[in-house]
Amino acid sequence: MSTVRVRFAPSPTGYVHVGSLRTALYNYLFARRNKGVFVLRIEDTDQKRYVEGAVENLVATMKWAGLDYDEGPGKGGGCGPYVQSERTDLYRRYASELVEKGFAYPCFCTSERLDVMRKAQEARKLPNIMYDRACLELSAGEAAKRIAGGEPHTVRLKVPRERSVVIDDIVRGIVTFAGETIDDQVLLKSDSFPTYHLANVVDDHLMGITHVIRGEEWLTSTPKHVLLYEFFGWEPPRFAHLPLLLNPDRSKLSKRQGDVAVEDYRVKGYEPQALVNFVALLGWNPGDEREVFTLEELAGEFSLERVGKAGAVFDVSKLNWINGMHLRRLTDEELLARLAACLAERGEEPPPSDYLRKVVGMMKERVTFVHEMRTVSSYFFEEPAEFEPEGVKKQWKGDAPALVSEFRERLQKLDDFSVEKIEAALRAMAEERGISAGKIIHPVRLVLSGKTTGPGLFELMEALGRETCVKRMEYGVAHLPAPAPAPATASSPGNPPAPAARQ
């Protein structure tokens, strides 16, 4: 069996769509699973849509995602770069060959005439809007004369309308296209640049591509490509057309309902392995209940036979869950480095590594993104700017200020400000007062962090240090509104009144 060779062939028209990332990923995984070659080719023949810097952004995005290609831009030597705009002479030569063999013909129709033709067909409500072949019957001599006279023209594929084209697709099975529904596709534009269809087929053949793995939107173009392979006398590759990506309402994934660019997810702090893992599951499944994979694990599991036909819903909540799972797979040292970099990006001087290591240890099970260690748990890095209103309502009542003040005094007398000593002091105070430890824990957490939830209170206090804890407790008691007095409790017959709380 020949070596598997696949390619990712994007157009440099702007950002990298998550659907493009999935196409690149499936090609990469298929190549790695089969010990094959993964080629990157830049299809930039549509110069009107070219965006400056798009190629560099594409290469950077693939590097970020870990999709290292074997041939293509930057690889040098005889392995690329493969940039179609630098190969136009090649495509023109092959277009001329098709015309000479009678499989293509020059077309002199102007855009204005074609527009009139389309509108007329639409008015007649024809099922397929196609070229009417007005130039097909031109003699070779007349066509040559008009070309010699400098008349602008295109080159069109001559489709055999009398027969069908059959495709054996790895994902979709046998798909049949009636010849009468296949348009005479433009292969060479009037500016002598090839269309996607001609350049794609020529390059796939010359680069020895064995499998074409691409999105479902290209399925209707495939019969034209199969005909080109036939006309050139070339062996076609195997085709695999991937299912559509859908919004939660099952409409086609679009920017109107959320982010669709890989760059957007990079900026938001998603882990590259998490986004890759999530995208891999948009159409493919391992055949069991597993959902969390590294790139290497995916490469060992992937097969096109397990790619489904149905559209795949892009569920951001699922992506967030997977991101949290991958974040927790990182070592504390890796997370520490990420957190320090996050702080630096914000223009903040990172605290000492020992302190950040404590933050990471407490928060890695509680966050979805590294940056949340700074934003969600900002109390590690600054005094709380505000206190949760619901927390104040629930926890700052009765004798809460007095309890916080008393606990603060006990903290100042500790000879060792450690988790064990802090916890022992709080529980001893609760026992002496005959109250639950939570009566002290909750208001103390509120004044220290401004929140009602978070990591273990005693670990948090040890990390913050005695001086910071005492300062924040003093501030909270002084600035939080005085709680309403606890409602009086009537004594039950035969029971003594409850003792007053010690102030």
CB-count exposure of residue 131 (10 Å: 0-12, 13-18, 19+): buried
Q: What region, left, alpha or beta, does residue 393 occupy, with left being phi > 0 and alpha being psi -120 to 50 degrees?
A: alpha
> Is the residue at 489 inside a domain?
no
> Is the residue at 495 inside a domain?
no
Task: Indicate if 159 and 227 belong to the same structural domain.
Answer: yes
> Is the residue at 502 inside a domain?
no
pLDDT of residue 492: 41
Structure token pair of residue 172 = 């979709």
User: Pick from 6, 68, 25, 66: which is nearest to 302 by CA?
Assistant: 25
The CATH number of whichever domain residue 217 belongs to comes to 3.40.50.620
Q: Could you say which of 255, 268, 393, 394 is catalytic?
A: 255
> Is the residue at 188 inside a domain?
yes
| Helices 353-363 and 332-345, packing angle to 10 deg | 110
Structure token pair of residue 166 = 């059959």
Task: Indicate if 96 and 230 belong to the same structural domain.
Answer: yes
Task: Indicate if 106 and 190 belong to the same structural domain.
Answer: yes
Number of folded domains that form the chain:
4
Question: What pTM was computed for the model?
Answer: 0.89
pLDDT of residue 491: 41
Task: State the DSSP code for 252.
Answer: B
Q: Among residues 207, 242, 277, which one ends one of the domains? A: 242
pLDDT of residue 229: 98
Task: Indicate if 209 and 101 belong to the same structural domain.
Answer: yes
Task: Indicate if 44 and 63 belong to the same structural domain.
Answer: yes
User: Pick from 197, 213, 200: which is nearest to 30 by CA?
Assistant: 213
Q: Which residues pair with 106 in a beta bridge?
A: 155
Task: Indicate if 192 and 271 belong to the same structural domain.
Answer: no
CB-based contact 430:437 (threshold 8 Å): yes
Instruction: Identify the residue whose tokens are 């060959």.
Output: 97
Task: Indicate if 137 and 224 belong to the same structural domain.
Answer: yes
Q: Which residues pair with 176 in a beta bridge?
A: 166
Task: State the DSSP code for 156.
Answer: E
Rounded CA-CA distance 318/33 in Å is 26
Q: How many C-alpha atoms does 156 have within 13 Å on its Cβ side?
A: 22
pLDDT of residue 501: 36
The CATH number of whichever domain residue 367 belongs to comes to 1.10.8.70
Rounded CA-CA distance 8/390 in Å is 52
Averages of pLDDT over runs of 10 residues in the chain (503 residues) are 90 91 98 96 83 90 95 65 84 97 97 96 93 94 95 97 96 97 97 94 96 96 98 98 94 80 94 98 95 97 96 96 97 96 95 96 97 96 95 95 98 97 98 97 98 97 98 96 65 41 33
Instruction: Identify the residue whose tokens are 């094959």.
Output: 36
pLDDT of residue 424: 98
Task: Indicate if 123 and 215 belong to the same structural domain.
Answer: yes
> Is the residue at 466 inside a domain?
yes
CB-based contact 3:37 (threshold 8 Å): yes
Domain interval for residue 77: 5-84+246-317
Catalytic site includes residue 119: no
